[in-house]
Amino acid sequence: MTTKSKIEEGLGFEPQFGADGLITAVVTDAKSGDVLMVAHMNAEAVAKTIASGEAWYYSRSRKTLWKKGESSGHVQRVVELRVDCDQDALWLKVEQAGEGACHTGRRSCFYRTVPLGQSGAVTLEFRNADKTFDPDTVYGGMAGKRDR
Amino acid sequence: MTTKSKIEEGLGFEPQFGADGLITAVVTDAKSGDVLMVAHMNAEAVAKTIASGEAWYYSRSRKTLWKKGESSGHVQRVVELRVDCDQDALWLKVEQAGEGACHTGRRSCFYRTVPLGQSGAVTLEFRNADKTFDPDTVYGGMAGKRDR
């Protein structure tokens, strides 16, 4: 079995971390199927997520491991964790505690749509962009610092 | 308005490409909500996707732009394109033509699950792993080379 076929067809979990030591994690809402966020994990975040069944990530901006919800209470219970063909991406189906996953105060980070069929400068449109919680209250003025 | 709040709360589409010139693209099935694949786009792939309404990506292994389905016929019609809060990830909801998105012959690239609640070496389990098409036939022996 070649390395490639072992990774693609085998049952050994061998996450392929990038040169930065990270792997991409896509997080969807187990109920609605919506993509809540895209984050990154290092080996320790992967191990803690598997062991605990709750989502841990690595913050590229703060250069530190963090547990989702550690400051907001918006913990993510992992319903299922999957790995893709070449084992360089993870998919977490989660039960999102609290009102949302996004540090801006929305349920999902994907609250703007890109209109199709055009070229040149693109103007976004809001979708499901109502804030479901007040990030200043929830994060105590630390929005975008501690819990992302 | 700071740059951060402009990117997060503004309606200007300003995709934040990484040092490698790429942005992460999460692709879900518009009907089932399943994550089909995670891929990458450069600026040209983003522009072509927006203009055409069909998914274009950038292959990191082949270092080239590619249209999904160019060799397999498994084109992805983009039903909706969204961008996340800090504009460094895209979410494509697509109608997947043909039998699947994965170059291994499955509908989704995420055909293995990682069992939770354990530490140490992890053994994966197959989920929805039946091949829906024969990659050798569809890609003409080029599976994993041309159409990914």
pLDDT of residue A146: 46
A12 and B119: CB-CB below 8 Å?
no
A19 touches chain B (CB under 8 A): no
A132 touches chain B (CB under 8 A): no
Work out the minimum CA distance from B87 to partner chain A, whole angstroms: 9
What number is the ipTM of this complex? 0.93
Judge if pTM exceeds 0.90.
yes
- With a cut of 90, say whether residue A77 has pLDDT above it: yes
Residues of chain A contacting B53 with CB distance shorter than 8 Å: 116-117
pLDDT of residue A2: 84
On whether the CB atoms of residues B101 and B109 are closer than 8 A, the answer is: yes
On whether the CB atoms of residues A127 and A107 are closer than 8 A, the answer is: no
What pairs with residue B28 in β-bridges? Answer: B35, B93
B123 and A81: CB-CB below 8 Å?
no
B-facing residues of A in 71-130 (CB < 8 A) are: 78, 80-86, 89-91, 102-104, 106, 109-119, 121-127
A11 touches chain B (CB under 8 A): yes
Q: State the pLDDT confidence band at B133, using cuts at 50, 70 and 90.
A: very high
A5 touches chain B (CB under 8 A): no
Residues of chain B contacting A119 with CB distance shorter than 8 Å: 47, 50-51
pLDDT digits (tens, 9 = 90+) for B37-92: 999 999 999 999 999 999 999 999 999 999 999 988 999 999 999 999 999 999 99
- With a cut of 70, say whether residue A142 has pLDDT above it: no
Residues of chain A contacting B127 with CB distance shorter than 8 Å: 82
Structure-block tokens of residue A84: 């893709």
Long-range contacts of A116-123 (CB under 8 A, 24+ apart): A116/B50, A116/B53, A116/B78, A116/B81, A117/B50, A117/B51, A117/B53, A118/B50, A118/B51, A119/B47, A119/B50, A119/B51, A121/B12, A121/B13, A122/B13, A122/B50, A123/B11, A123/B12, A123/B13
B13 and A89: CB-CB below 8 Å?
no
- With a cut of 60, say whether residue B142 has pLDDT above it: no
- Rounded Cα distance, A95 and A77, in Å: 5
Question: In whole numbers, what is the pLDDT of chain B averaged over residues?
Answer: 93
- With a cut of 80, say whether residue A28 has pLDDT above it: yes
pLDDT of residue A82: 98
- With a cut of 50, say whether residue B146 has pLDDT above it: no
Choose from A76, A91, A118, A119 for mutation: most chain B CBs within 10 A. Answer: A91
- Rounded Cα distance, B67 and B55, in Å: 6
